[in-house]
Structures are given as C-alpha cells and as structure tokens.
C-alpha cells in the first residue's frame, strides 16, 4: 500500500455487503465509529485502475482545513472484492459510499468528488441522494445520460471508448495481469503524458492490483455498467439510458466540473447539455490537463475545490 500522507490514518468500514478500506485525516474517532473532526468533510472517489491514492496529490493542498475521506472502492486495493459481476451494480457502489458516510460522519453532509469511474458513482449518488451532499465536484467524468447519448451519436467518442470491449472480453483479467501488469499500466500512458508515474508509483499500483481476483473485480465495473458502447460500423443498439430526462437524472446540488481539455478518452462533447441536468453548474477548464488531471494539476484542482466548498458548505 502507498505510504499514508502525514496526518492521515486508515481504517476498515463495514458497509454491509463489503468492507471498505478508507483513508482519512480526522483528528480522532468517537465510540469506534464516527470521526471526531468538525472541519467540513470532503469525500474522494477514485476511478479505474486506481485506488484511494489517486486523489493523494490533491490532499496536500486541502488537508489542513478540511476533513478528507478517501475509500478504496469495492473491488480495489484493500477493500473487499466480490467476484460476481452483479456485485458491481451502480446501486451497490452508491450504497457503499452512503454506508461509509453514515458510519464515519453520522448525518453530516459532505462534498463529494469523483474522477473517472469514481465520477460515475458520484453522479449516481448526487442524482438519487442529493440530501446527503453540500455539493458535487467532478474531474474528467461524465453524466450517465450524456455519456450514453454521445456514444450513440458522436463517432469520435464512440471510437475513443472502444477499450470498453477490450476490458470486458473473456480472459481480460489475465491479459491485464501479464508481463507485470503492462497492459494495466498502459491505461495511464495511453491517454496522457505521465511524468508522475515514477517507479515508486508503478510499484504501488502493481501491489494494489496483485490480490487474488483483484483485476477481475476491477473489470466488473465495466461489465456491470448500464452504458452500451456500440462497435464502429454496426447499427446502434437500444440504449434506454440515452432517453433519460433531466427530471429523472437531475443533479440538485451545486455542481463543479473541472475538465482537462486534452483528455483523449473523454471528449468535450460529453459536456454538451450538462446544464440541463445540473442547473447550478460551474465549469473550469484546464487547457493543458488531460484525463489524469488530478495527478498533473493537483494544486489547481484543490484551489477550485476549496472555493467551491467555501461557497456551498
């Protein structure tokens, strides 16, 4: 496991179906459950193929003034990793975050931040459980309805998302493990410039991916997704998610979207129409940022999160 930042601790939280490993910077714990820390709380959700440390570069700029909480999501690193695909339905992933928050924060509201797949969970939670949140922060992640619409209607985004089929193919976990996780590491390098991916960081990721059944569990996020990725040249399949309306999928809390403009996996078309689903929307563009913007521009992102949290919580 990556060494914890100064002032951070780790714990395991029983979320019912799974136990999540959680890193936080709370001053203390009451009765073995609730974190004893009155600072405004921010929860960070990582994406694929990361774990809690994906957001670590941002922590250093916020840890003095905020209570920061970062779980290994279900299937990742030290958290439980059930093997059935159905264990990774969005409702279960959202349920994990809510159970963790109830355990650690009681009924306190929090700001929720998500990147990549963590953004998908964050959007789902904000849409269905807005009463728990002060606000929603997304860094290069997409609203589910807009993602599905772009996959049906935009050829460039459809092409950019063909890796879904590679990651859901038979024996994908075995291929992603081969040659000391070379293909898994390439998921970083394929979509961005990665000066931050040094030898120590590579070693930490390999360790996080090495548990029995771990890669299969991580890939189950793709297999269980309701998003349908059409193959080039084939007719578009039925995709009910594309018919979702703002009434059904609205983000009813203040929403900050931070977007690395050089992202090659998630293209700007995915933002089109977001204001219809998020009436209180603020968009910040980082022109030199790409998909891994939380690694390359952590200070800029932390500055935006701080201003947003001050205005909403």
Higher-confidence position of 209 and 33: 209
Closest CA to 90 of 224, 260, 227: 224
- 53-75 pLDDT tens trace: 999 999 999 999 999 999 999 99
Residue 194: how many CB atoms within 10 A of its CB?
A: 17
- Mean pLDDT (whole number) for 210-225: 96
Using alpha carbons only, what angle is made at residue 99 by residues 96 and 103, rounded to the nearest 5 degrees? 135
Closest CA to 206 of 172, 180, 175, 179: 180
Higher-confidence position of 32 and 192: 192
The Cα 89–Cα 229 span in angstroms is: 17
What pLDDT was estimated at residue 1? 46
pLDDT category at 192 given cuts 50, 70, 90 is confident
Write out the two tokens for 258.
Answer: 């931070």
What pLDDT was estimated at residue 33? 76
Every domain of the chain and the residues it spans: 9-312
Whether 32 has a pLDDT exceeding 70, the answer reads no
- Mean pLDDT (whole number) for 236-247: 96
Give every CB contact of residue 289 below 8 A, 6+ residues apart in sequence.
Answer: 140, 259, 260, 261, 262, 263, 296, 297, 300
Closest CA to 313 of 113, 48, 102: 113
Alpha carbon 294 to its chain centroid, in Å, reads 11
Cα–Cα separations (whole angstroms), residue 167 to 72, 101, 129, 142, 223: 20, 30, 30, 19, 8
What fold characterizes domain 9-312? Answer: Rossmann fold (3.40.50)
On whether the pTM is more than 0.85, the answer is yes
Whether 175 has a pLDDT exceeding 90, the answer reads yes
- 281-304 pLDDT tens trace: 999 999 999 999 999 999 999 999
């Amino acid at each position: 496991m990556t060494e914890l930042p100064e002032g951070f601790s780790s714990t395991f939280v029983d979320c019912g179906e799974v136990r999540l490993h959680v890193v936080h910077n709370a001053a203390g714990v009451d009765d073995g459950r609730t974190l004893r820390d009155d600072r405004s709380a921010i929860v960070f959700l990582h994406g694929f193929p990361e774990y809690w440390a994906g957001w670590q570069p941002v922590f250093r700029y916020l840890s003095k003034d905020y209570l920061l909480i970062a779980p290994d999501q279900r299937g990742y690193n030290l958290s439980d990793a059930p093997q059935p695909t159905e264990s990774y339905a969005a409702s279960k992933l959202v349920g994990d975050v809510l159970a963790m928050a109830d355990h650690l924060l009681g009924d306190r509201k929090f700001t929720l931040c998500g990147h990549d797949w963590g953004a998908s969970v964050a959007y789902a939670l904000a849409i269905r459980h807005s009463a728990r949140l002060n606000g929603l922060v997304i860094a290069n992640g997409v609203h589910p309805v807009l993602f599905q619409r772009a996959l049906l209607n935009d050829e460039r985004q459809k092409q950019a998302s063909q890796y879904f089929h590679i990651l859901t193919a038979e024996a994908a976990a075995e291929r992603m493990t081969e040659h000391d996780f070379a293909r898994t590491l390439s998921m970083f390098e394929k979509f961005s410039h990665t000066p931050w991916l040094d030898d120590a960081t590579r070693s930490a990721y390999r360790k996080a991916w090495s548990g029995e059944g771990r890669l299969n569990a991580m890939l189950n996020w793709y297999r269980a997704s309701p998003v349908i990725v059409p193959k080039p040249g084939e007719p578009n399949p039925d995709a009910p998610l594309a018919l979702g309306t703002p009434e059904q999928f609205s983000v009813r809390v203040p929403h900050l979207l931070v977007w690395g403009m050089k992202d090659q996996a998630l293209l700007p078309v995915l933002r089109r129409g977001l204001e219809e689903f998020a009436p209180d929307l603020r968009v910040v563009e980082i022109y030199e940022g790409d998909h891994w913007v939380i690694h390359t521009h952590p200070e800029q992102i932390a500055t935006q999160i701080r201003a947003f949290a001050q205005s909403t919580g």
